Every structure is written in C-alpha cells, then in structure tokens.
Structure 1
Amino acid sequence: MLKLGIIGTNWITQQFVEAAAETKRYELVSVYSRKLETAKAFGDKNGATQLFDDLDAFMASDTFDVVYIASPNSLHFEQAKLAIQNHKQIIVEKPAFTNQRQMQEIQTLLADYPDVHLFEAARNIHSTNFKAIQAQVAKMTRIQGASFTYMKYSSRYDAVLAGETPNIFSLKFAGGALQDLGVYTVYDAVTLFGMPEDAAYYPQLIGTQVDGKGTAMLRYPEFDVTLNFGKIANSFSSSEVYGMKDTIVIDDAGELTDIQYHDSEGAVHQLGIKADGNPMVDEANDFADVLENPKDADNQKKYDQWRQLSVNVNKLLFNLRQSGKLEFPDD
C-alpha cells in the first residue's frame, strides 16, 4: 500500500484522494496546508491523522512516501524540489512547472535522486478513452488535422468581475486559461502527434491581465491543429481528429467521456467506454503500477515516455505564452 501525503485541500485534491482510495493501492496518511485547521478539516473527512502547517516538517516526515501536489501553479517548483530532496515520489498537478528553466532544474535534480519518480497528473492521457483514440489514430491512413476544445465558465470569474484576483486568474500564481484548461488540449495534441514545427497563441486578456480564453494554432509538416480553450465562457463544440473520409469525434477534449469514430463508409463506431466515474482513477492506477514495480522494463518505458511528454508539454506551453506575450513573475 502506497502511503500518500497531499499538498492542497481543494476540490481537485478531494477528487484525487477519492480516486486513490478507489484503486485500493494508496492510503492517505498526511495532509499539509498553510493553516492547520484546514488540514485538520480535510484529514478528518478523509481519514488522515498526520497534519502539518510546516512544509519542511511535512516533507521530512516518514509517514508517507508519495506526495500529491495540488497547490497554485507557481508553488509547484519549490515544493517539488523539496520533495525530491526528501526522497518522496511525486505526483504534481498540471502544469507541473511554469517555464523551461524550472523544468530543466527539476530534471537535473532528478538525475541526482534516481530512486525518485515525478509524474505530471495529466489525467486525460491516462484514460481508457484517450488510449482508444490513440489506437484509432494509429490505424487511420492519413491525418489531415485536428481541433481540440475545452472551455468551461469558472465560478471564480465572477470574483474577477467583482474586482478580486483568485489564484487561478492571477499572474502571481501563474494562472489563466492556457495554464488551466489549455494544458489538457496541449497534452492531447502532443501525445497524439508529437511536437509541432511552429506554434502561435492568441489570448483574450481579462482584468487581472491573464488570458481568460484563447485560441492556439499548432503547425505540423502535413496538417494544423487548433486548440480552443477558456474559463470565461462555455463551449459545447465537439473536438475532432480528421482523416480522409473518416473522423474521430470527441465530446470534450478534457473529459473524453464519449468518443465516436465515423468511418469512410459513414458508419459510426463507439470507441472506448461511456465514462462516468472518477476521471482520476486511471492515472492513479498507472502511477501505482510504476511505483509498485519500478524495475519492470515496461514500467520503465512508460515512465520515460510520460516524463518526456511532460518536458515537451512544458516547452510548448512556454512557447505559446511567449507567442501570446504572457509573462509570469518567475520567468
């Protein structure tokens, strides 16, 4: 049983803790929050007994061996460094780090701690349905492009309109649409098609000077991929991968709950499953596979692929921000 410690007590942390419990491969034992009463409330709800409001003491604790980091984006880097130095296995929410300098420093540090694994929690690419999309793309005779859309109105945008600056819409905490929902679409594209030759981002800025929504264009040698994402409006558009006469239709580029393949004869085939459970179970199981048997050749190969994907996505996110003239304090 993997002993789990968590940083962050928001809804996404709750969802991951529930997913981890559902796998029956993790046990939540430790909670860190800046306020001890917040840690206690989360711990009481989820059965954790080791509570911390001191990050150094939390990381030095021997009560857990896997840390899940779901703090604001700009805090991931220092927290991950501390975790590595304390020989913790790390699951960090996407985007893992805000720029290439941070990513390179983490990769260098990991080389000095070969017992430590770092996973970016890109849950969409670990899902059964995404793997079904990958398999179908591999069978298609030619790919002529794709469009990925993930746009949901955030309740915290109401606070922005009221003059506040929630973390998710804050430059200080590396917020904005690209860093939040856009990262799902970037992961979709890079996992399916690799790195583009060129990329451009056209952000729509809001009052806090982050991107509330935006469109990115990725140029590949033989096709383009359009990414459309945002947190200040709702989209009900499907996402699609274009073959010749055949097309993969995805209900939602982030959730991937309903996938259909329209073949060249016009017949429609259901791919994957009608997903309605906790969307983080698949990634929790994938990470546990590696952590429970890290020397297995297949597990090592999967981990190396995920790690390279994380590096590539980090680079593309940074390049898109540069294209859109979006700068964070840590840059």
Structure 2
Amino acid sequence: MIKFGVIGTNWITKMFIAAAIETGEYELSKIYSRTQERGESFLRTLTVDDVDIVTTLSDLYTGIDLVYIASPNSLHFEQSKVAIEAGVHVIVEKPTTSNPAEFSEIEKLLTLYPEVRYFEAARHVHQPNFKVIQQTMGELTQLQGATLVYQKYSSRYDAYLAGEEPNVLSRNFSAGALYDLGVYPIYAAIALFGAPRAVQYLPILLTNGADGKGTASLFYDDFNVTLLFGKTANSYLSSEIYGLKETIAISNIAELDTITYHDGDGHADNIGQKTDDNPMIHEAQDFADIINDPVENHTKYNQWFQLAKQVNQTLFDLRSSADIEFLADKKEY
C-alpha cells in the first residue's frame, strides 16, 4: 500500500484522493494545509479516517511514500524539490514547474535520488479514450494536423473583474490561460504528434499582464496544430484531428467524453469508450504500477518523464513568443 500525503485542499485534490483510494493501491496518510482549521475543514469533506493534518513540509514528508501536489504553479518546484530530497515520490499537477530552468534542477536532483519517481498529473493522456485516438490516428490515410480546443469560463475571472488578482490569473504565481487549461491541448498535441519544430502564441492579455485566453500554433514539417484555450469565455467547439478525408472529432480534449470517426464518405462512428465518473483513476493506477514495480515499468516511466519535459519546454517557448514573463523566471538556480 502506498502511503501518500497531499498539498492542496481543493476540488482536484479531492478527486485525486478518491481515484487513488478506488484503485486499492493507496492509503491517504497526511493532508498539508497552511492552517490546521483549513485542513480539518477539508478532511471533513472526505470519507477517510486516521489522517493527520500538518502545517509544515517537514512533518508532511515524514512517514509517507508519495506526495500529490496541487498548490499554485509557482510553488510546485520548491515543494517537489523538498519531497525528492526526503526520498518521497512526487505526483505534481500540471504544469510541473514554471520554466525549463526549474525542470532542469528537478532532473538533476533526481539523479541523486534514483529511487524517487516524479510524475506530472496529466490525466487525459492516461485515459482509455486517448489510446483510442492514438490507435485511430495510425489508420489515417495522411495526417494533416489538428485543432484542439479547451476554453472554459473560470469562476476566478469574476474575482479578477471585481478588482482582485486570483492566483490562477497571476504571473506572480506562474499562471494564466496557457499554464492552466492550455496544458491539456498542449499535452495532447505533443503526446500525439511529438515536439514541434517551432511555436507561436497570440494571447489576449489581462491588465495585469497575464493571459486570459489565446491561440497557439505548433509547427511541424508537414502540418500545423492550432490550439484554442482560455479562462474568460466558454467554448463548445469540438477538437479535430485531420486525415486526408477522414476526421477524428473529440468532444472535449481534456475530458475525452466522446470520440467520433468520420470516414470521409458521410459515415460517422462513435469509437470511444464510456468514461469513468472519476477521470483520474487511470493515471493513479499507472503511477502506482510504476512505484510498485519500477524495473518492469522503467520504459513507460521514462516516456512519461520525457513527455513532461517536452511539454514544459513547449509551454515556455510559447510564453516567450508572447513576451510573457513570470516572477519565477527572475530566480537564479
């Protein structure tokens, strides 16, 4: 049984806890919160017992095997670093780090702690329907690119409009549309098509300099991939992958609820599976498999680590193309 702790007392942490427990591979041991009261309030929303509330990382990383980190983006690096140095496996919500400099430091640190595994929680690439997309792409006559969409109005945008600066829309916290919802289509694109040869990002900036929404282009040798994402409006467009005449339509690139194959002759087939109520179950199981048998699953782990590294670099390259700077970029490592 993998004893784990969590950083973050929000809905996605609650979802991961439920998924982890459902696999039968994990046991929740500790909850980290800045205050005892907030941690206890979060614990009351869970259906688990015998969980400790801690308010320091040193207390969190004692007596656990793994930590799940769902704090603001700018905190991921330091919290992951301390965990690795404590010999604790890390699952960190996307994005792993604020920039490639931080990711490089994590990569160097992992060489000193070879038993530790470091994962990025990009749930959609672990779901069965993502594998359906990958398989169907291999059957296309000629791959001609894609349009991937994930745009969803954030409740925190209301706070921004009221004059506040919420973490998820602040460059001080390494946030904005690209480093939040944008990670989903970028992860899908790189997992499906590989790393692009060039990129460009055209954002719609908020008054604080963070991006509220935008359009990104990934350039490959024979095609382009267009990404549409944002937190200031809702989109109901499907994502599409283009063959010669065939098209794979995806209802939501993050949730993968419905996958439809259009054969070019007017025929459309639903080729996807029914999705789980909790979309994080498959990534939780995949990560547990690697922790429980790192030798057998060494290749798979390296593939996911390299994918996370490519995503991190692509995020940075897109952000750089739009001259968006984070506070974390000014640090020296």
Q: Does 1:69 align with 2:69?
A: yes
Partner residue, 1:305: 303
1:67 is displaced (CA, Å) by 0.3
Alpha-carbon distance in structure 1 between the residues aligned to 2:51 and 2:194: 43
Write out per-residue CA displacement over residues 176-220 of structure 1, whole angstroms, 9 at most, x where no aligned residue: 000000000100100000011110000001133210000001110
Q: Which runs of 4+ in 1 moved over 6 A?
A: none
| 1:26-71 C-alpha deviation (Å, 9 max, x unpaired) | 1111000111111122234332521101122222x11x21100000
Change (3 A) 1:276 1:287: closer
Match of 1:129 in 2: 129
CA distance in 2, matches of 1:267, 1:161: 45
Amino acid at match of 2:29: V
- Provide, for residues 241-300 of structure 1, a one-character-per-residue CA deviation record: whole Å limited to 9, x for no partner: 00011000000111111101111333222222132511111111111111111111xx11
Q: How does 1:307-326 map to 2 (within 5 A)?
A: 307-326=305-324
Name which of 48, 57, 60 aligns with 2:59. 57
The gaps in structure 2 that reach 5 residues or longer are: none
Deviates more, 1:119-128 or 1:35-44: 35-44
User: Where does residue 294 of structure 2 map in the other structure?
Assistant: 294
Counterpart of 2:272 in structure 1 is 272
What is the alpha-carbon distance in structure 2 between the residues aligned to residue 202 and residue 114 of structure 1?
40
1:49 maps to a residue whose letter is V
1:205 matched residue in structure 2: 205
Q: Give the length in aligned residue pairs.
A: 327
Alpha-carbon separation, structure 2, partners of 1:266 and 1:286: 37
SS of the residue 1:177 aligns to = coil
Q: Deviations over 1:217-246 (max 9, x none)?
A: 111000000000000000010100000110
Mapped partners of 1:35, 1:53: distance in 2: 6
Whole-Å Cα distance in 1 between the matches of residues 213 and 45 of structure 2? 35
**For 1:209 and 1:34, how far apart are their aligned partners in 2?**
28
1:1-331 maps to which residues of 2 (within 5 A)? 1-46=1-46, 47=48, 48-59=50-61, 61-62=62-63, 64-296=64-296, 299-331=297-329
Aligned-partner residue type, residue 284 of structure 2: A
Q: Distance in 2 between matches of 1:306 and 1:143?
A: 23
Percent identity over the alignment is 51
2: CA distance between counterparts of 1:29 and 1:230?
35
Secondary structure of residue in 2 paired with 1:181: coil
**In 2, Cα distance between the equivalents of 1:276 and 1:24?**
16
For residues 215 and 182 of structure 1, what CA distance do their matches in structure 2 show?
A: 9
TM-score, length-scaled by structure 1? 0.97
1-structure distance, mates of 2:68, 2:8: 8
Segments of structure 1 that go 5 or more residues without pairing to the other structure are: none
More off after superposition, 302-311 vs 139-148: 139-148
Amino acid aligned to 1:72: P
Q: What do you get for the CA RMSD once the two structures are aligned?
A: 1.0
Q: Secondary structure at the match of 1:149?
A: strand
